[in-house]
C-alpha cells in the first residue's frame, strides 16, 4: 500500500511539473508571438538595411515574381540571403476596386515574412502625386488604406504601412494637405488596427529639413521618414555628392527625432543616377548609370557608414537596378555596390558589439 501511495504521489508530482512546463512554454510563446505589438522604437531597431521592390508596381516585375514563385523560387529569400532585412513594397494599383491585387499583396507579404524579411507596404498615391488633389481623390486615398488595414489586420505586426511613397509631384508643396490627410488616414487605420506601425513622410520631396512641418498626432506606433538622393547622386562628375549635406541631413533628422521622441527612417536613396531617357544597358543587362562603378561604390560606402553609424535604418532604391528578374539573380556589374552597403553596415555593427 505504501509503495502504491508513493507511486501516486510521484505521478502527481510529474503531472504538476508537466503542467508548469506547458504554462511556461505557452507564456514564452505569447511573449514573442507575431501578434504582440511592436512599438515604433522597436520597429526602427529591427528594420536595418532594406531594398525597395516593385513586385506589385511594374507589370513586368510582377510577372517574373509570380512566375518564379510558381516554380518554387523565392525572390524574398534571395534578397534576405544577400543580407537585407526589410523590403519596401511599392504598390500603385487600386486595391479598393481590384481584389485580386489585394490577394497578391497578402501573398507577397507572407512570402517576405516566410523569408525573414520585414515588409513595409508603401502606396505611390498616383492620383494625388499626379495632380488630382480633389476631395474625391483624397477620400479614395483614405479608403485605399482602410481596405488594406481591414484585409491585413491579422497579419503580424512586422508588417507596417508607409502612407505615401514620397512627398513629391503635386504633393511637393502641399504639407498642410498631407498633414490633414495623414491624420484622417491614421485615425481610420487606428479604428481597425490600433497598434500597427504607420510611417509618414513630409512634403518637399520628403526632405529631412521639412520634418519640422509635420503636424501629426504621433503615437508610440508612428515613424517619420525622410529622403535624400532618392534618385542617386546628381552633382558634376568630379563631385557627385556632398558629404556636408549628408551630414547636415542626418543631424537635422536626429535632432528632430530627439525633440519629438518620434523615430526616423531613411526611406530611399539610390547608389547611382539613372538618366530618365537613357535606355542604355551594361553588357550584363543592368541599367547604365551616370557614374562609374567606383564612384557608385564610394558614394554607397559613405552613405552606409553615415546612416548605420547613427543607427538610422534605410532602404536602397531600387530592386530593378540590381536584380535580373529573368534569371533570376543579381546583376554582376551591380553586385559590388550591394555588397559594399551590406558589408559596411555589418562591419559597423560588429565593431560596436566588440566595444
| pLDDT of 24 over the 50 cut | no
State how far the Cα of 139 lies from the Cα of 218, in Å rounded to an integer.
Answer: 21
pLDDT band of 264, cuts 50, 70, 90:
very high
pLDDT band of 353, cuts 50, 70, 90:
confident
- Lowest pLDDT segment from 42-56, 121-135, 289-303, 341-355: 341-355
State how far the Cα of 252 lies from the Cα of 255, in Å rounded to an integer.
Answer: 5
- Per-residue buried b or exposed e for 227-238, using 16+ beta carbons within 10 Å of the residue's own CB: bbbbebbeeeee
Tally the C-alpha atoms within 13 A of residue 327's C-alpha that lie toward its C-beta: 13
Contacts 24+ apart (CB under 8 A), 14-17: none
What DSSP state is assigned to residue 208? G
For β-strands 329-330 and 323-324, DSSP reports them as: antiparallel
What DSSP state is assigned to residue 1? -
| pLDDT of 183 over the 80 cut | yes
State percent of the chain over pLDDT 70: 90
Helices 59-70, 75-82: inter-axial angle, 10-degree rounding: 100
pLDDT of residue 5: 40
| Extents of the domains making up the chain | 37-275+312-318
pLDDT of residue 122: 98
Q: Position of cell 511637393?
A: 172
What DSSP state is assigned to residue 340? H
Q: What angle do CA 47, 254, 343 make, to 5 degrees?
A: 45
Cell for 19?
503542467
pLDDT of residue 133: 98
| pLDDT of 99 over the 70 cut | yes
- Lowest pLDDT segment from 24-38, 82-96, 258-272: 24-38
What CATH class is the domain 37-275+312-318? Answer: alpha beta
| pLDDT of 322 over the 90 cut | yes
State how far the Cα of 117 lies from the Cα of 150, in Å rounded to an integer.
Answer: 22
pLDDT of residue 148: 98
* 31 in Cβ contact with 298 (< 8 Å): no
CB contact set of 238 (below 8 Å; sequence gap of 6+): none
* 54 in Cβ contact with 312 (< 8 Å): no
Dihedral (Cα; 176, 157, 261, 164), 10-degree rounding: -20
pLDDT of residue 276: 83
Q: Position of cell 510521484?
A: 10
State how far the Cα of 222 lies from the Cα of 217, in Å rounded to an integer.
Answer: 9
Where are the strands (E) in 45-105, listed by range? 49-56, 86-91
Amino acid at each position: 500500500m505504501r509503495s502504491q501511495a508513493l507511486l501516486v504521489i510521484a505521478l502527481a508530482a510529474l503531472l504538476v511539473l508537466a503542467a508548469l512546463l506547458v504554462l511556461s512554454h505557452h507564456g514564452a510563446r505569447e511573449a514573442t508571438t507575431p501578434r504582440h505589438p511592436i512599438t515604433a522604437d522597436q520597429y526602427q531597431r529591427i528594420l536595418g538595411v532594406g531594398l525597395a521592390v516593385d513586385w506589385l508596381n511594374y507589370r513586368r516585375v510582377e510577372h517574373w515574381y509570380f512566375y518564379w514563385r510558381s516554380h518554387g523560387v523565392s525572390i524574398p529569400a534571395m534578397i534576405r540571403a544577400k543580407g537585407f532585412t526589410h523590403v519596401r513594397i511599392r504598390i500603385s494599383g487600386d486595391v479598393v476596386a481590384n481584389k485580386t491585387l489585394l490577394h497578391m499583396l497578402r501573398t507577397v507579404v507572407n512570402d517576405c515574412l516566410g523569408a525573414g524579411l520585414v515588409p513595409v507596404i508603401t502606396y505611390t498615391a498616383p492620383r494625388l502625386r499626379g495632380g488630382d488633389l480633389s476631395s474625391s481623390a483624397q477620400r479614395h486615398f483614405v479608403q485605399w488604406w482602410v481596405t488594406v488595414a481591414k484585409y491585413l489586420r491579422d497579419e503580424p505586426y512586422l508588417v507596417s504601412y508607409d502612407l505615401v511613397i514620397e512627398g513629391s509631384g503635386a504633393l511637393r508643396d502641399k504639407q498642410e494637405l498631407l498633414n490633414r490627410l495623414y491624420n484622417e488616414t491614421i485615425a481610420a487605420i487606428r479604428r481597425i488596427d490600433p497598434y500597427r506601425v504607420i510611417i509618414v513622410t513630409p512634403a518637399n520631396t520628403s526632405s529631412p529639413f521639412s520634418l519640422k512641418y509635420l503636424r501629426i498626432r504621433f503615437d508610440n506606433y508612428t515613424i517619420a521618414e525622410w529622403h535624400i538622393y532618392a534618385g542617386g547622386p546628381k552633382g558634376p562628375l568630379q563631385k557627385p555628392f556632398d558629404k556636408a549635406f549628408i551630414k547636415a541631413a542626418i543631424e537635422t533628422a536626429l535632432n528632430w527625432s530627439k525633440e519629438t521622441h518620434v523615430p526616423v527612417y531613411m526611406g530611399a536613396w539610390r547608389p547611382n543616377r539613372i538618366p530618365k531617357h537613357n535606355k542604355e544597358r551594361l553588357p550584363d543587362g543592368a541599367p547604365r548609370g551616370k557614374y562609374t562603378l567606383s564612384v557608385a561604390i564610394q558614394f554607397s560606402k559613405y552613405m552606409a557608414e553615415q546612416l548605420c553609424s547613427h543607427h538610422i535604418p534605410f532602404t536602397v532604391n531600387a530592386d530593378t537596378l540590381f536584380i535580373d528578374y529573368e534569371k533570376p539573380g543579381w546583376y554582376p556589374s551591380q553586385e559590388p555596390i550591394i555588397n559594399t552597403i551590406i558589408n559596411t553596415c555589418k562591419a559597423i555593427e560588429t565593431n560596436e558589439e566588440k566595444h
